[in-house]
Amino acid sequence: MSQALLRVTDLSKHFGGLKAVEGVDFELFPEEILGVLGPNGAGKTVCFNLISGVYQPTRGEIHFENRTISNMRSHEIATLGVGRTFQIVKPFAMLTVLENVLVARGVTRYGSLTKIWTVWKSESEKAAALEILDRVGLADLADRKAGLLPLGNLRRLEIARALVVGHKLILLDESFAGLRNEEILQLEHLIRRIRKDGITVLLIEHNMRVTMGLCDRIVVLEHGQKIAEGTPEAIQQNERVIEAYLGRRETYNASRSA
């Protein structure tokens, strides 16, 4: 069993009286695709926010490559090679698509008081950014203002930015939401390629079919706690998981056969 890339122990986040996440443990191994499932309000995005440094845990620890990152902030975690997308897309609307990716390229410069004064509008930077855009299929939209893009392209832009920063781990927060069928297929293809490039993927998703098809392993949350962990097959048979989606059984069955 190889060394875990990310290890989360007793992770908990309380907002006043609300226990959004409580005592969650799991490990993520290099080059695997791990999915986090759960009904709405299960605490999935809160977990992501804890791991990526948006929130600090109330209790518990997060280890990345044997380094404790529990109390690190977003921008510090980004420099470790962890990238993420957001459930509600956050493009830099007034910048172009290319410039959006260029912002990500600066991740190695922002921390240094000297490098931060160097120029960003260089040919080599533009070429590198264009290459990333090519990977996600946005190369011909490079000069479009990001605020004008439709949702499907915005999700790809989010991933492009995350790819630049996340050369070790990428967190995808419901990147499939609101996409049309061909877009879903393209995105699945892209994620498999990302893993082939050696990047580990942790994703939150509602689309069952996609999750079961894409993920090597799955963690299921409900009311902030982990209720199951295992391969997609094991999860599909798991009583507690089925119960958690009770009432959604029709949707669950329907999406299984989709």
Query: What residue ranges bind another protein (CB under 8 A)?
Result: 52-54, 73-76, 78-79, 83-84, 86, 90-95, 99, 102-104, 106-111, 115-121, 161-162, 164-165
Of 26, 69, 21, give the one whose Cα is nearest residue 46: 21
> For tokens 């845990």, what's the residue?
57
Q: Are 47 and 54 in contact (CB under 8 A)?
A: no
Nearer Cβ to another protein, position 7 or 84? 84
Residue 154: burial class (beta carbons within 10 Å; 0-12, 13-18, 19+): buried
- In the bound state with another protein, the residue whose beta carbon lies nearer, of 44 and 226, is 44
Closer Cβ to another protein, 10 or 76, answer by number: 76
By beta-carbon proximity to another protein, the closer residue of 112 and 231 is 112
Q: Pick the closer one to another protein by CB: 138 or 208.
A: 138
* Closest CB 110 distance from another protein, rounded Å: 5
Smallest gap from residue 116 Cβ to another protein (A):
5
Judging by DSSP bridges, how do beta strands 67-68 and 59-64 pair with one another?
antiparallel
Judged by DSSP in three states, 139 sits in helix
Nearer of residues 15 and 233 to another protein, judged by Cβ:
15
Distance of closest approach, residue 120 Cβ to another protein, in angstroms: 5
H/E/C letters for each residue in 134-194?
HHHCCHHHCCCEHHHCCHHHHHHHHHHHHHHHCCCEEEEECCCCCCCHHHHHHHHHHHHHH
- Closest contact distance (angstroms) between CB of 113 and another protein is 9
Min dist. Cβ of residue 79 to another protein (A): 5
For residue 155, the minimal CB distance to another protein (Å) is 13
Measure the CA–CA gap between 145 and 150, rounded to whole angstroms: 11
C-alpha dihedral over 226, 232, 234, 235, to 10 degrees? 40
CA distance 124 to 121: 9
Position 254, amino acid: A
